[in-house]
Chains A and B, each alone.
Chain A
Amino acid sequence: MKTPTYLDRKEQVIILKDKEIINRTPYLLENNLLKLSGSGTLFLYVEDYQMQNLNILLDDASLFKLYMIFKSSLPTTYHFNIEINDTSRMDVFSVIRNIEKTSVQINREFLLGKSSVLNLSNALLNMGNTTIAETVLLQKPYAEVNLDQLNIGAYNDVYHVRQDIVHQAPHTISNINNSLISNANAKLSYQVSGKIDKGNEFSSCKQSNKGIILSESGEIEVLPILYIDEYNVEASHGAAIGQIDEEQLYYLLSRGLTETEARSLIISGYTKPFVGAIEDDDIRDLVERQIVKRINEADIL
């Protein structure tokens, strides 16, 4: 089975490719259920895997980093249910990229227990049509989710992304930061919603959506929504979408950078905080290479 060479350097890897599963971890993966406990770092590589639902369960008082790398050359739909039990923390970093222009649909549902934390970072850098549906259910008090997403659309890519956060318990926290870039003819469409049901007081639900359109025909559409049915909460949302700031461009030009260099630096400023937060060197390199490719090469087409 051919897989990326950087995976050979990783200690704990699960590969789901076509109809095969390779599990190089001590964790049991049976009946589509992967049980994790204790602490560790796991790489889950998914390439054109034809499967049913995959369920991941993180045991109580556990701490895990999960890298989910999706690579597709065929139309595929993935379903994940990820349950994070009480007082556990899971840092999920997802890289979603296609090697062919194809359709990919990824549905993920996260269920968070008491005082659990989910840090979810997604890099969407794929070609073709992409549909993502993320649902986070903050089921127990003091559960917290932080979602950072970088989405760079290029060529004729079409993205439909839906992010739903549901506060089902008091003292729950959600933060969403979406950084979106549309290059060439890419169309990015987002529906981002936060919901606080009645009785879930002292909860905080915040979302920020920033978008840069680099071309004449690129499009970014964001629909930020808040459903709040409780008075004693904090909630905010916003969306700022536009082209590269002319004053920023002028400032950089006035120091001698060419227009291409200046634009590239401004965009890198947009992506760098996200990339800088990736701890694994191989994954960071992978993301950086894709960013450069999607920003620079797509312009030529």
Chain B
Amino acid sequence: MILEIKDLYVSVEDNIILQGVNLTVKGGETHAIMGPNGTGKSTLASICMGHPKYKIESGDILVDGESILDKSVDERSRMGIFLAMQNPTEVPGVTNFDFVKAALQTRMEEGKHLRVGKFILQFESASSDLKMGKGLAHRFLNQGFSGGEKKRNEILQMKLLKPKFAFLDEIDSGLDVDALRIVGENVTKQKSADLGLVLITHYQRLLDYIVPDFVHVMINGKIVKTGGLDLIEKIDREGYDWVKTELGITDFDVRKEPVSLGTCPTKTLK
């Protein structure tokens, strides 16, 4: 089980965001990607999921040796890729229960049906583990959820869908100390040889609960440094400037061409 990102260049609206990313994630490994704001960390997760907003200029993404670039978002999900989103979308009128049930049903072979009784028990158990309350199944998907509830709901889906590779995009933002611990413990419990994890975060605190095997620093759309737990401590203490200095990196200069917005209407006084 292996996910390979090879020399990946990605643009959005003619701006190059990723500039040659290389990353290999094997089953059982946990990778943390850290970096300043706007360096392409979330873009990397979104492009692996297949978000249509981004354009791949060159490079490849492979799962077990097979390129997934021609796969649609839903095909990638069914292949085992999962993205816990930074801002999970609200879908009014669709209950959590119906949504997860549909997501599991679609993974089953044609003609086979989900055992609903068993699924209800699994759903309630996952909901209880994440301290989501008993009414979660009947609440509309993410609608009216607090920031913390939305993040925990992402982890609940991950628990039930059992992906092979999961990207957790700033899953710690909006979580209080207790919620962070609950999320951290639940993710850690899922660690196994059948799951490759990629954590995208700004802070050490998440990594206290989900201990990574590898820590990567991403700057200007590229992974510029890889290390172990000592790297997290240094970043937490000193920020990213020392990385830039050490590697001679200058800040991204996005060249913007001036565009005309048209002219304002004018009024002539006689």
Choose among B52, B98, B103, B141 the residue that contacts A256 (Cβ–Cβ < 8 A). Answer: B103
Choose among A245, A255, A272 the residue that contacts B77 (Cβ–Cβ < 8 A). Answer: A255
A269 at the interface (CB under 8 A from B): yes
Q: How many A-B residue pairs have CB under 8 A?
A: 73
Nearest CB of B to A100, in Å:
31
> Which B117-170 residues have a C-beta within 8 angstroms of A?
140-141, 157, 161
> Which B231-262 residues have a C-beta within 8 angstroms of A?
none
A268 at the interface (CB under 8 A from B): yes
A247 at the interface (CB under 8 A from B): yes
Number of interface residues of A (CB under 8 A): 23
B85 at the interface (CB under 8 A from A): yes
Q: Which of A248, A254, A257, A266 has the most CB of B within 10 A?
A: A254
Pairwise interchain contact B49-A258, C-beta atoms closer than 8 A = no
Pairwise interchain contact B99-A259, C-beta atoms closer than 8 A = no
Pairwise interchain contact A255-B99, C-beta atoms closer than 8 A = yes
Pairwise interchain contact A250-B99, C-beta atoms closer than 8 A = no
A4 at the interface (CB under 8 A from B): no
Nearest CB of A to B225, in Å:
30
Task: Report A-chain residues with C-beta under 8 Å of the C-beta of B88.
Answer: 251
Given A254-B83, A255-B99, A265-B99, the answer on whether A273 and B77 have CB atoms closer than 8 Å is: no
Choose among B74, B90, B107, B141 the residue that contacts A259 (Cβ–Cβ < 8 A). Answer: B74
B266 at the interface (CB under 8 A from A): no
Pairwise interchain contact B91-A257, C-beta atoms closer than 8 A = no
Interface of B is mostly: mixed
A147 at the interface (CB under 8 A from B): no
B89 at the interface (CB under 8 A from A): yes
Pairwise interchain contact A268-B93, C-beta atoms closer than 8 A = yes
Nearest CB of B to A174, in Å:
23
Pairwise interchain contact A250-B93, C-beta atoms closer than 8 A = no
Pairwise interchain contact A251-B91, C-beta atoms closer than 8 A = yes
Task: Report B-chain residues with C-beta under 8 Å of the C-beta of A251.
Answer: 85, 88-89, 91
A252 at the interface (CB under 8 A from B): yes
Task: Report A-chain residues with C-beta under 8 Å of the C-beta of B103.
Answer: 255-257
Task: Report A-chain residues with C-beta under 8 Å of the C-beta of B72.
Answer: 253, 259
CA distance A271 to B107 in the complex (A): 25
Task: Report A-chain residues with C-beta under 8 Å of the C-beta of B141.
Answer: 269
Given A253-B72, A254-B49, A256-B74, the answer on whether A266 and B102 have CB atoms closer than 8 Å is: no
CA distance A247 to B106 in the complex (A): 20
Choose among A255, A257, A273 the residue that contacts B93 (Cβ–Cβ < 8 A). Answer: A273
Pairwise interchain contact B73-A254, C-beta atoms closer than 8 A = yes
Residue of B nearest to A251 (CB): B89
Given A248-B89, A251-B88, A255-B99, the answer on whether A269 and B74 have CB atoms closer than 8 Å is: no
Q: What are the nearest 3 A-B pairs in CB distance? A: A269-B93, A269-B94, A256-B77
